[in-house]
Structure 1
């Protein structure tokens, strides 16, 4: 089936446009269902409304970017469910396109890029987050596109490499301006950058000085290591602080330059405080197994019983774990740097939540890790199929689409037959 698209392999931008249109349509249909605030929208929608009014600080636990984007949707489409969720839906589409772009850069395979993009659209956690006025969808989008730009910066002229590198730093600053959980990714990017430079130096039999200061290197041409790290840090930090600009115009308790750093300390205290237990809390190790999904909504709404369950697509989430293991195998046994890098990316994204000082964890923290599985699956298939087009990924993709269609009623707040209608999808007691 996918082989019929051979003619489009030389036109990735056209294919990406078609993928983006399809994803946006998928995320937009019945975007205003449910018609009321659900789950953590109760924190972020009022904070976005306060930003529009510049009435004063609200939900200061997190920075402003995510709430600014929700506010932009409200400004354009009105203070209604569609307005609250319009920009998250666009961010969801951007995440799907980022998966397409990342796989294209990693594999130069239209087959792999398309499979990954479709898997991302139907992996269910992205679908639900793209239709909810919360923060993690924006965090994921900015981080994904930062990674795409950093991959793209590995090739081209020095001027192109620097432009893409700086653009990635801007996106990393915006990601941090959504949630601080972006910070570990910036640190990991720095470590990966230096590690690749050291490996390049060993292969070329060059000195440590060349690693740190040489700009005639095979990856990221024209970018010496120390200047690259410095620009990455300074630009991302500068952009992060610029995102607080609206807070200086609050009518009540406006932010001041002298209060900017104390605000960061207050935010840290709020994010690391010990919170009371929550019905939907879960540990990081349980997220890949989907032991505790979250009901974002389950109420009578618009004349019917409706529900929104944040749950991954079992085909993608569980099959993706096998793909990660396959990528590790290919990376270690057959020295595939692409496969190993993808496997390490997923592992690092989960390890972050094992280390950061949060007293409670929730399944939606796995949002970005679930997207990385959609990158690992096509890479694993491409590697082990050796590009011979055996079609196994097409069967996998078909199974994922069927799984998505099966769960769709409790992902999109479709009408259910009665108050117990959810039972049909509850495979395990912990899913209730």
Structure 2
């Protein structure tokens, strides 16, 4: 089989990307051997959850900590056990980007480019190698969104309904990992109604027809009211079901009648006023990458090592240009695909403008950063034609070169000394 034939098959390309991602995320995973950054919260919480000792880290739901606890149960209470499932979440996120782009555009090249930009996006690489909640939340959001798109592309009600149910389950799990995913349940319902109404307008049909089940090429056999009720009920049921282990804590077990109270307690902790922090930053600064965060910078495991939570400039800044291009051209050409590519980023980012958080940090931008490769691939697919046909490859090479340059302070590689970080600090506001 020649290379061209291999690369034309989406399944084979996805498998190659998945193997590459998993290998990259797993290499030297156990360094540092001690907990770093917010692992100090989530690893002890997972230990307590594994033994059902008592509540811990009660400001967040349980799914992410349940997954970390599963890793400890399988691989031991060590760095491999803490971080193993994070690598799988990172790989699933990269493959989810591939899948979404394939469903949106039907082109293997576009899907592969988006997945490659996701793989080279520093934020995904870093979150795939640390025991934090954001990686699991993003995985479930991406896979849930992809499954909703898959349901939209179904050819019969018999295929559409199971996929819609699966998407609802995955979005419920996303909320169970972190509340940041809540808007995506609403977005799925809004997307259903929007696409149905656009289809009705283009076909010259009524709103009633759009809400009915018959005669649709998008989500065939799904009437609006049952579909939206299913989305809400299933995702909420899955979310609350993830609290089941808390019913069996040895100390302070959660009871069913206190489950709603517990949600209010989490909200109170999430919105409490916190003291200032040297790494804090405002939501408007995150796309500009003004204040990244050191997850680690110290002498550990025999060398000075660092892990800087920062984005690939080609992806973070180039992605903003791509989002703007998708909005502009998508509106002019009435292209739902381009508008959707931009809306995924905007939908993940805009809630942070209104969330009542007293402190903000760059890593809150993680989920929006995951969707930037979708906008980049969509924009490159639209514009890289004729004499610009190879610009997408040039953009990918730029992202690859930047990944190689920053790799030592993304991967906790040994550095020359305590002042080595200056090599990568492009601006005074960078740590």
- Secondary structure of the 2:286 match is helix
- Deviates further, 368-377 or 399-408: 368-377
Cα deviation, residue 9, structure 1: 5.3
Cα deviation, residue 389, structure 1: 7.9
Mapped partners of 2:206, 2:239: distance in 1? 35
Cα deviation, residue 205, structure 1: 2.3
Mapped partners of 2:165, 2:137: distance in 1? 18
From 78, 81, 103, the equivalent of 2:79 is 81
Give a deviation string over 1:231-258, Cα, whole Å, max 9, x none.
Answer: 0000000000110111111111111111
Cα deviation, residue 364, structure 1: 0.9
Mapped partners of 2:401, 2:356: distance in 1? 38
Shift in alpha-carbon separation, 1:35–1:240, aligned structure 2, 3 A: same
Cα deviation, residue 386, structure 1: 4.3
Normalising by the residue count of structure 1, what TM-score does the alignment of the two structures yield?
0.97
Give a deviation string over 1:240-296, Cα, whole Å, max 9, x none.
Answer: 011011111111111111111111111111111111111111111111100010000
Partner of 2:115: 117
Partner of 1:129: 127
Mapped partners of 2:214, 2:55: distance in 1? 45
Q: How does 1:153-302 map to 2 (within 5 A)?
A: 153-156=151-154, 157-302=156-301
Aligned 8 A contact 1:321 1:373 in 2: yes
Cα deviation, residue 371, structure 1: 1.5
- Deviates further, 397-406 or 318-327: 318-327
Unaligned stretches of 5+ residues in structure 1: none
Q: Does the alignment pair 1:97 with 2:95?
A: yes
Mapped partners of 1:7, 1:203: distance in 2? 37
Mapped partners of 1:298, 1:154: distance in 2? 46
Aligned 8 A contact 1:136 1:367 in 2: yes
Mapped partners of 1:132, 1:305: distance in 2? 18
Partner of 1:54: 52
Cα deviation, residue 79, structure 1: 0.6
Mapped partners of 1:306, 1:193: distance in 2? 47
Partner of 2:344: 345
Shift in alpha-carbon separation, 1:306–1:417, aligned structure 2, 3 A: same
Aligned 8 A contact 2:148 2:188 in 1: no
Mapped partners of 1:143, 1:80: distance in 2? 28
- Secondary structure of the 2:273 match is coil
Mapped partners of 2:252, 2:423: distance in 1? 50
Mapped partners of 2:313, 2:139: distance in 1? 22
Mapped partners of 2:105, 2:213: distance in 1? 28
Cα deviation, residue 208, structure 1: 2.5
The aligned length equals 429
Shift in alpha-carbon separation, 1:101–1:388, aligned structure 2, 3 A: farther
Q: Does the alignment pair 1:36 with 2:34?
A: yes
Mapped partners of 1:197, 1:108: distance in 2? 20
Aligned 8 A contact 1:350 1:369 in 2: yes
Give a deviation string over 1:166-201, Cα, whole Å, max 9, x none.
Answer: 000000110010111111111122222212121122
Structure 1 residue ranges, 4+ long, deviating more than 4 angstroms after superposition: 386-389
Mapped partners of 1:166, 1:216: distance in 2? 21
Unaligned stretches of 5+ residues in structure 2: none
Partner of 1:366: 365
Task: Supply the RMSD in Å over aligned alpha carbons.
Answer: 1.4
Partner of 2:19: 21
- Secondary structure of the 2:253 match is coil
Give a deviation string over 1:344-381, Cα, whole Å, max 9, x none.
Answer: 22122111111122221111111111121101111111
Normalising by the residue count of structure 2, what TM-score does the alignment of the two structures yield?
0.97
Aligned 8 A contact 1:143 1:175 in 2: yes
Aligned 8 A contact 1:125 1:370 in 2: yes
Aligned 8 A contact 1:330 1:383 in 2: no
- Secondary structure of the 1:73 match is helix
Give a deviation string over 1:111-154, Cα, whole Å, max 9, x none.
Answer: 11111111101110000000010000001000000111111111
Mapped partners of 1:26, 1:89: distance in 2? 9
Mapped partners of 1:105, 1:409: distance in 2? 35
From 149, 152, 163, the equivalent of 2:150 is 152
Aligned 8 A contact 2:306 2:410 in 1: yes
Give a deviation string over 1:46-86, Cα, whole Å, max 9, x none.
Answer: 00000111101000100000000011111111111111111
Partner of 1:68: 66
Shift in alpha-carbon separation, 1:424–1:162, aligned structure 2, 3 A: same
Aligned 8 A contact 1:54 1:249 in 2: yes
